[in-house]
Structure 1
Amino acid sequence: MKPISRVFIIGWDGAGSFVASANTPNLDRCVRNGTFDFQAQAATPTISAQCWGTLLHGVSPDKHGLTNEIVSHTPYPDGSPYPSIFRVVREAYPDAAMASFSAWYPINHGIIEPSIGVHKVSMKDRDLSLAAAAYIREHPEVKLLFVQFDLPDAAGHQYGYNTPGQLQAIEETDGLTGHILEAIEETGLLDDSLLVFVSDHGGGGANPRGHGSDHPMDKTIYWGCVGPGIPRGAAIPGTMSIVDTAAVVVRALGIEPPESWESKLPERLFAE
């Protein structure tokens, strides 16, 4: 079994677990080859800044303190006791190439620390997918790369969540994800990379075109990964939480998690 040399995180904003109702051949291929949970749980409240902040910082919103308003105007403090996965990786690998491609600009502005040398790109989804694929081809030495697509959430707000309009946007996002997977395969990185697939929240529970509540439609998300040591076609024992993503990332890269993190490694995720 090859060691894991890098981690790619591909997030579909607002997709919840609705991907199970959509035609997503790229995601489905990874499901067959990895370990997935389609009943994973988002952070509370089920809002983008709180949820992406929880994923990236390994703690719940009451600790990282991020809201949509804050991340839109205020950079995340470099000295926070709750470092992002990017900061943890930077401290372990000072010369590592790292990148964040986010269709929702506040992730790059207010959730990832500003002074740790992360290559940050914010643009619309299709252009974003091509830019991320180009970066992978140009920087095969990348250690950590995060991608966030916004189309599913935008469609949920416009048409309603888990509706034909949103499912079409999810299917389009799967196609954009294919550009990234193609770049990973073409550069020969697939065999020693961990790929994490996740949504930040769902929607349509308390409000057909909104999210933020504890309703299962808002809280339930998909989470999965594929890579060396990850069981093929398996389910995660118990219930996966979005906060545990951070622990998975640092374990894959051979780094001890910060004591301040609440993030925990799911049992038996990695083959010993």
Structure 2
Amino acid sequence: MAYNITSPKALSLLLAAGAVAAGVATTTAGTASAAPAPSITKTVVIGLDGTMLDYVKNSNTPNLHRLIAEGTSGQSSILGHPTISGPSWSTILTGVWHTKHGVVDNTYKGARYDLYPSAFTRIEQANPAMRTASISTWGGIATIADSGTPKADVVTTTPGAGSDAATDAATATAVAAEIATKGPEFVFTQLDQVDGAGHSSGTAGSQYAPALERVDAEVGKIVAAVDKRQKDTGEKWTILVTSDHGHKPTGGHGGQSAEEATTFVIARGADYKAGAVDNDYTIADIAPTVLDNLGIAQPADLDGAPLAKTAPPATGSLGWLPSWIPTGSLGS
């Protein structure tokens, strides 16, 4: 209701409100100088290059099995999108498909990170005090993390350690140390050995399952660091695990087969239903979820949305994405 401030009634209301405000200020002085900061959830995203969820479920991967059991997981497809690392990691870190971010292969030619910044840049623009870190095995991740203004606080590509497995181990060790000592609001990592095994032997070959088992141990190292920090500090953390593409049984990716286009998301944290399946999860939902966890407003031009925390009824579907995903140029 609006009042004419020159009326006696309005003046009396204003005086009464002022007296109440003064009383509140007097009683609360010295107890709180400002409203408490909103609660945030810190996030680590673990990217497992070339990893397929069906193979994870059928392998000796106890740490990933634990995350699936404790959180919500979903399998989907990127058919219509390039099944190549550069485009997919760009989608994971920007929240838009290749038709917007412009990356269609691993050269990053045509990238439009100026129009569709990574989550690192959006976080730093919203709150420079928040710590963001990119620690990866594959150097292409640094291209994305370094792209914006401002860029991530930490951008590291692990030097080769003699093998894909050894390099991944060094990456995971660095991520665990970053979480334990710095507690960043957002940390992204990518581990590469499963993709290497997929190229070498295919998913039907002798190298793929052992690579999954080895990378699972590195995932466990990161999860242990998160769990310890949560216990020690009371911070809230979400762990997201995802992949950029799958592999053909004989090896390789980049085409539009169902095997090459399969991706997945595992989300473990507060309010994600334990053991639930949500095949509506897509890789474009990762960046929006990170922003939402930190209380950062969702840009209107994102293709993804924060991952739902209430899973729909199971349908038995594999969760392939519908035909509305724009195709554009698929590159090479």
Stretch moving more, 155-164 or 144-153: 155-164
| 2:239 counterpart (188, 195, 203) | 195
Letter in 1 for 2:280: T
Question: Where does residue 203 of structure 2 map in the other structure?
Answer: 161
Query: Structure 1's 109 and 267: CA in aligned 2 closer, same or farther, altered over 3 A?
Result: closer
Letter in 1 for 2:119: I
Does the alignment pair 1:12 with 2:48? yes
- Given that 2:132 and 2:187 are in contact with CA atoms closer than 8 Å, whether structure 1 keeps it comes out as yes
Query: Structure 1's 3 and 21: CA in aligned 2 closer, same or farther, altered over 3 A?
Result: farther
Q: Counterparts in 2 of 1:19-168, with a 5 A limit?
A: 19-37=56-74, 39-42=75-78, 44-71=81-108, 80-110=114-144, 112-114=146-148, 115-123=150-158, 124-140=167-183, 142-168=184-210
Stretch moving more, 149-158 or 55-64: 55-64
Deviation at 1:266, TM superposition (A): 4.4
Question: Where does residue 239 of structure 1 map in the other structure?
Answer: 280
- Given that 2:50 and 2:194 are in contact with CA atoms closer than 8 Å, whether structure 1 keeps it comes out as yes
CA distance in 1 between partners of 2:145 and 2:228 (Å): 31
Question: Where does residue 251 of structure 1 map in the other structure?
Answer: 292
- Given that 1:203 and 1:217 are in contact with CA atoms closer than 8 Å, whether structure 2 keeps it comes out as yes
Letter in 1 for 2:229: T
Structure number with bigger Rg: 2
Three-state SS of the structure 2 residue aligned to 1:101 is: strand
- Given that 1:98 and 1:119 are in contact with CA atoms closer than 8 Å, whether structure 2 keeps it comes out as yes
CA distance in 1 between partners of 2:129 and 2:211 (Å): 37
CA distance in 1 between partners of 2:56 and 2:187 (Å): 22
Q: 1:44-102, CA deviations, whole angstroms, 9 ceiling, x for partnerless residues? A: 1100001101111111112111244424xx79666x11111111111222111110111
- Given that 1:75 and 1:113 are in contact with CA atoms closer than 8 Å, whether structure 2 keeps it comes out as no
CA distance in 2 between partners of 1:61 and 1:144 (Å): 23
Stretch moving more, 149-158 or 16-25: 16-25
Any stretches of 5+ residues in structure 2 without a counterpart?
1-37, 159-166, 312-332
Query: Structure 1's 161 and 246: CA in aligned 2 closer, same or farther, altered over 3 A?
Result: same
- Given that 2:46 and 2:189 are in contact with CA atoms closer than 8 Å, whether structure 1 keeps it comes out as yes
Give the RMSD, CA atoms, in angstroms.
Answer: 2.3
- Given that 1:155 and 1:166 are in contact with CA atoms closer than 8 Å, whether structure 2 keeps it comes out as yes
- Given that 1:76 and 1:112 are in contact with CA atoms closer than 8 Å, whether structure 2 keeps it comes out as no
Deviation at 1:267, TM superposition (A): 4.3
CA distance in 1 between partners of 2:306 and 2:227 (Å): 27
Three-state SS of the structure 2 residue aligned to 1:212 is: coil
CA distance in 1 between partners of 2:247 and 2:254 (Å): 8
- Given that 2:96 and 2:304 are in contact with CA atoms closer than 8 Å, whether structure 1 keeps it comes out as yes
CA distance in 1 between partners of 2:104 and 2:110 (Å): 12
Relative to the length of structure 2, the TM-score reads: 0.73
Any stretches of 5+ residues in structure 1 without a counterpart?
none
CA distance in 2 between partners of 1:136 and 1:111 (Å): 18
What percent identity do the matched residue pairs reach? 29
Question: Where does residue 170 of structure 1 map in the other structure?
Answer: 212
CA distance in 1 between partners of 2:66 and 2:267 (Å): 11
Relative to the length of structure 1, the TM-score reads: 0.88
- Given that 1:75 and 1:110 are in contact with CA atoms closer than 8 Å, whether structure 2 keeps it comes out as no
Three-state SS of the structure 2 residue aligned to 1:164 is: coil
Three-state SS of the structure 1 residue aligned to 2:265 is: strand
Stretch moving more, 17-26 or 238-247: 238-247
Deviation at 1:16, TM superposition (A): 2.2
Q: 1:117-164, CA deviations, whole angstroms, 9 ceiling, x for partnerless residues? A: 430111121111111111111102x10000100000000001112433
Three-state SS of the structure 1 residue aligned to 2:298 is: coil
